[in-house]
A and B are shown apart, each in its own frame.
Chain A
Amino acid sequence: MFKSITLGQYYQTDSILHRLDPRVKLSATLLYIVALFVVNSFPGYLFAGIFLVCMIRLSHVPFSYMVRGMKAILFLLLLTMTFNLFLTPGEPLVQFWKLTITREGLSTAIMMAVRLSFLVIGSSLMTLTTTPTQLTDAMEAMMNPFKRIHMPVHEIAMMMSIALRFIPILMEETDKIMKAQMARGADFDSKNLMKKIQSMIPLLVPLFVSAFRRANDLAMAMEARCYRGGEGRTKMKPLVYQGRDRIAYVILFAFFAACIAFRATSHMVPFPLGALS
Chain B
Amino acid sequence: MSLTIEDISFTYETGTAMQVTALDHISAEIPDNQFIGLIGHTGSGKSTLVQMLNGLLKPTSGRILYKGADIHADNFDRKNLRAKVGLVFQYPEHQLFEADVISDVMFGPKNLGLSQEECQRRAHAALRSVGMDKKFYEKSPFDLSGGEKRRVAIAGVLAMHPEILILDEPTAGLDPRGRDEILGLISEMKNRMNMTIILVSHSMDDVAEYVDRIMVMNRSHLVYDDTPARVFTHYRELEEMGLSAPQVTYIMQYLKEQGLPVSTEIFTLEEAAAEILAHRRELHV
* Chain A interface residues toward B at CB < 8 A: 3, 11-13, 176-177, 179-187, 201-202, 205-206, 209-210
CB-CB under 8 A from B54, the residues of chain A are 183
The winner among A176, A179, A180, A182 for most chain B CB atoms within 10 A is A180
Looking at the assembled complex, report how far the CB atom of B139 sits from the nearest CB atom of chain A, in whole angstroms.
Answer: 16
Looking at the assembled complex, report how far the CB atom of A2 sits from the nearest CB atom of chain B, in whole angstroms.
Answer: 12
Interface code B109-129, partner A: CB below 8 Å = 1, 0 otherwise? 011100000000000000000
Which 8 A-B pairs rank lowest in CB-CB distance, beginning with the nearest? A185-B111, A205-B97, A180-B95, A184-B108, A183-B87, A180-B89, A202-B97, A179-B56
Looking at the assembled complex, report how far the CB atom of A276 sits from the nearest CB atom of chain B, in whole angstroms.
Answer: 40
Nearest B-chain residue to A14, judged by Cβ = B17
Asked if B97 and A183 sit within 8 Å, CB to CB, the answer is no
From the candidates A3, A184, A209, name the one contacting B111 in the complex (CB within 8 A): A184
Q: Complex formed: what's the CA distance from A184 to B94 in Å?
A: 14
Q: Complex formed: what's the CA distance from A12 to B160 in Å?
A: 42
Looking at the assembled complex, report how far the CB atom of A48 sits from the nearest CB atom of chain B, in whole angstroms.
Answer: 28
Looking at the assembled complex, report how far the CB atom of B156 sits from the nearest CB atom of chain A, in whole angstroms.
Answer: 6
- B83: CB under 8 A from chain A? yes
Looking at the assembled complex, report how far the CB atom of A166 sits from the nearest CB atom of chain B, in whole angstroms.
Answer: 16
- With A176-B89, A206-B96 already in contact, the answer to whether A183 and B13 are too (CB < 8 A) is no
Looking at the assembled complex, report how far the CB atom of A223 sits from the nearest CB atom of chain B, in whole angstroms.
Answer: 23
Looking at the assembled complex, report how far the CB atom of A171 sits from the nearest CB atom of chain B, in whole angstroms.
Answer: 13
Looking at the assembled complex, report how far the CB atom of A125 sits from the nearest CB atom of chain B, in whole angstroms.
Answer: 16
The total of interchain contacts (Cβ-Cβ below 8 angstroms) comes to: 63
Chain B 180-228 interface residues, beta-carbon cutoff 8 Å to A: none
At the interface, is chain A mostly helix, strand, loop or mixed? helix
Asked if B108 and A185 sit within 8 Å, CB to CB, the answer is yes
Asked if A206 and B97 sit within 8 Å, CB to CB, the answer is yes
Chain B 39-66 interface residues, beta-carbon cutoff 8 Å to A: 51, 54, 56
Asked if B157 and A184 sit within 8 Å, CB to CB, the answer is yes
Asked if A181 and B95 sit within 8 Å, CB to CB, the answer is yes
Q: Complex formed: what's the CA distance from A177 to B95 in Å?
A: 6
CB-CB under 8 A from A209, the residues of chain B are 94, 97, 142
CB-CB under 8 A from B89, the residues of chain A are 176, 179-180, 183
Q: Complex formed: what's the CA distance from A198 to B111 in Å?
A: 12
Looking at the assembled complex, report how far the CB atom of A215 sits from the nearest CB atom of chain B, in whole angstroms.
Answer: 15
- With A12-B17, A176-B89, A202-B107 already in contact, the answer to whether A182 and B82 are too (CB < 8 A) is yes
CB-CB under 8 A from A205, the residues of chain B are 97
Nearest A-chain residue to B80, judged by Cβ = A185
- B246: CB under 8 A from chain A? no
Chain B 17-57 interface residues, beta-carbon cutoff 8 Å to A: 17-18, 51, 54, 56
CB-CB under 8 A from A206, the residues of chain B are 94-97
Nearest B-chain residue to A209, judged by Cβ = B142
Instruction: Please list 5 pairs of residues, one from A and one from B, whose beta carbons are closer than 8 Å in the complex, sorted by A's number.
Output: A12-B18, A180-B95, A184-B95, A185-B160, A202-B97
Looking at the assembled complex, report how far the CB atom of A169 sits from the nearest CB atom of chain B, in whole angstroms.
Answer: 13
Q: Complex formed: what's the CA distance from A206 to B96 in Å?
A: 6
CB-CB under 8 A from A13, the residues of chain B are 17
Nearest A-chain residue to B85, judged by Cβ = A183
CB-CB under 8 A from B160, the residues of chain A are 184-185
Asked if B17 and A11 sit within 8 Å, CB to CB, the answer is yes
Looking at the assembled complex, report how far the CB atom of A150 sits from the nearest CB atom of chain B, in whole angstroms.
Answer: 41
From the candidates A12, A183, A210, name the one contacting B86 in the complex (CB within 8 A): A183
Asked if B18 and A186 sit within 8 Å, CB to CB, the answer is no
Asked if B157 and A210 sit within 8 Å, CB to CB, the answer is no
Q: Complex formed: what's the CA distance from A228 to B89 in Å?
A: 38
Looking at the assembled complex, report how far the CB atom of A225 sits from the nearest CB atom of chain B, in whole angstroms.
Answer: 23
Asked if A180 and B92 sit within 8 Å, CB to CB, the answer is yes
Nearest B-chain residue to A210, judged by Cβ = B94
CB-CB under 8 A from B67, the residues of chain A are none
Asked if A185 and B94 sit within 8 Å, CB to CB, the answer is no
From the candidates B17, B142, B156, name the one contacting A184 in the complex (CB within 8 A): B156
The winner among A184, A185, A205, A206 for most chain B CB atoms within 10 A is A184
- With A180-B95, A206-B97 already in contact, the answer to whether A185 and B18 are too (CB < 8 A) is no
Looking at the assembled complex, report how far the CB atom of A132 sits from the nearest CB atom of chain B, in whole angstroms.
Answer: 16
CB-CB under 8 A from A180, the residues of chain B are 89, 92, 94-95
CB-CB under 8 A from A187, the residues of chain B are 79, 111
Looking at the assembled complex, report how far the CB atom of A4 sits from the nearest CB atom of chain B, in whole angstroms.
Answer: 11
Nearest B-chain residue to A201, judged by Cβ = B97
Q: Complex formed: what's the CA distance from A191 to B83 in Å?
A: 22
- With A12-B18, A181-B95 already in contact, the answer to whether A3 and B13 are too (CB < 8 A) is yes
Nearest B-chain residue to A182, judged by Cβ = B56
Looking at the assembled complex, report how far the CB atom of A105 sits from the nearest CB atom of chain B, in whole angstroms.
Answer: 39
Q: Complex formed: what's the CA distance from A184 to B95 in Å?
A: 10
Nearest A-chain residue to B79, judged by Cβ = A185
- With A177-B95, A206-B96, A206-B97 already in contact, the answer to whether A185 and B82 are too (CB < 8 A) is yes
Interface code B133-168, partner A: CB below 8 Å = 1, 0 otherwise? 000000000100000000000001100100000000
CB-CB under 8 A from B51, the residues of chain A are 179
Q: Complex formed: what's the CA distance from A182 to B56 in Å?
A: 8
CB-CB under 8 A from B94, the residues of chain A are 176-177, 180, 206, 209-210
Q: Complex formed: what's the CA distance from A3 to B17 in Å?
A: 13
The winner among B88, B95, B157 for most chain A CB atoms within 10 A is B95
